[in-house]
């Protein structure tokens, strides 16, 4: 009489072949160890099946995340655990943790991280991007300069509509470093076309070292800047970070006083307290650019 633990070599070999056919390498790797545990009575047959499938699922999920991070250009992995909130007391940790729940992605909102260089804007944007990838959302990370260069190249080649659709596909588009480099002539208009195409259809995260009142100078056109902000502030979460550069914290004595000081940027505009669909409210260009 044979029991459930009396596995013949032919049965094990058949299971191995089936795992190879199903392309389950991690399950194949774990099989022999699980069979030994079964034979020793450490686990039941159902527990062995559960462990086998969980091992394979973990491998596939890790592979999916790794691929999605690479495709989304999130090469440098950042985590909330790696962010020093004590160094930036102006940040509300609870608000950041709430953003990590990704409700803003579901609501197609825009998250703005504003503050001086080195205060953690890109780190936090990347953290939220990684969390979105883990949750199965498509993400794409780019700098404003790279984004506009890609759109300008596509326009020259007659592929602007195609490229705009490409940047509209991700559930979350992260645009880093707004205000760090001058925007080429016509770049503001190209960015506006993309923002308009994603408006209320996809979430965005923007990081900038310049206040909204300076965006007319950033994009070289106050009218375009006003039109951008008209949409980017309609369904928005604004996080303003004040303080010194985290990267320069160990060299504070070598840093000029005006950099070490807690320089703030222009305060953000008040956004709508309640989200509503349809056309965004009118914004006074003089108030924005003044």
pLDDT in tens, 244-271: 555 444 444 444 444 444 444 444 444 4
Number of domains in the chain: 2
Residue 135 located in a structural domain: yes
* pLDDT of res. 271: 41
- State the residue range of the domain holding 53: 9-67
* pLDDT of res. 244: 56
The answer on 279 and 175 residing in a single domain is yes
Residue 103 located in a structural domain: yes
Instruction: Give the residue, 271 or 213, on which the prediction is more confident.
Output: 213
The answer on 53 and 22 residing in a single domain is yes
The answer on 197 and 112 residing in a single domain is yes
Nearest to 230 by CA among 142, 147, 110: 110
DSSP for 220-233, please give it.
T-HHHHHHHHHHHT
Handedness of CA 235, 90, 92, 254 (dihedral sign): positive
The answer on 178 and 91 residing in a single domain is yes
The answer on 232 and 99 residing in a single domain is yes
* pLDDT of res. 203: 98
The answer on 241 and 117 residing in a single domain is yes
The answer on 42 and 116 residing in a single domain is no
The answer on 240 and 173 residing in a single domain is yes
In Å, how far are 2, 19, 71, 235, 236 from 109, measured between CA atoms? 62, 44, 22, 5, 6
Residue 72 located in a structural domain: no
The answer on 158 and 93 residing in a single domain is yes
The answer on 213 and 108 residing in a single domain is yes
Three-class DSSP category at 169: coil
The answer on 144 and 21 residing in a single domain is no
The answer on 182 and 44 residing in a single domain is no
Give the confidence band of 84 by pLDDT, cuts at 50, 70, 90: confident
Residue 154: give its domain's CATH number: 3.40.50.300
Residue 1 located in a structural domain: no
Q: What is the pLDDT of residues 110-146, one digit of tens each?
A: 999 999 998 899 999 999 999 999 999 999 999 999 9
């Amino acid at each position: 009489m044979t029991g459930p633990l009396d596995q013949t070599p032919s049965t094990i070999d058949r299971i191995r072949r089936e795992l190879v056919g199903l392309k389950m390498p991690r399950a194949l790797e774990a099989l022999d160890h699980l069979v030994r545990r079964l034979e020793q009575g450490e686990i039941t047959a159902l527990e062995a099946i559960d462990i086998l499938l969980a091992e394979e699922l973990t491998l596939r999920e890790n592979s999916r995340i790794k691929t999605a991070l690479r495709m989304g250009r999130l090469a440098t992995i950042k985590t909330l655990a790696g962010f020093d909130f004590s160094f930036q007391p102006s940040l509300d940790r609870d608000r950041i943790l709430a953003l990590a729940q990704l409700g803003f992605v579901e609501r197609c909102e825009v998250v703005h991280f504003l503050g001086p260089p080195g205060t953690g804007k890109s780190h936090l944007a990347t953290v939220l991007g990684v969390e979105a990838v883990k949750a199965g959302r498509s993400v794409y990370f780019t700098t404003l300069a790279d984004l506009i260069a890609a759109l300008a190249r596509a326009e020259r080649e007659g592929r602007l509509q195609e490229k705009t659709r490409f940047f509209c596909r991700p559930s979350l588009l992260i645009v880093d470093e707004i205000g760090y480099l001058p925007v080429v002539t016509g770049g503001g208009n190209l960015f506006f076309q993309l923002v308009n195409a994603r408006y209320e259809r996809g979430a965005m995260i923007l990081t900038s070292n310049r206040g909204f009142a300076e965006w007319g100078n950033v994009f070289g056109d106050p009218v375009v800047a006003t039109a951008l902000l008209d949409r980017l502030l309609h369904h928005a979460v604004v996080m303003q970070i004040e303080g010194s550069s985290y990267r320069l914290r160990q060299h504070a004595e070598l840093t000029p006083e005006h950099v070490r000081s807690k320089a703030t940027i222009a305060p953000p505009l008040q956004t709508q307290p309640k989200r509503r669909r349809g056309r965004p409210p009118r914004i006074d260009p003089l108030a924005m650019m003044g």
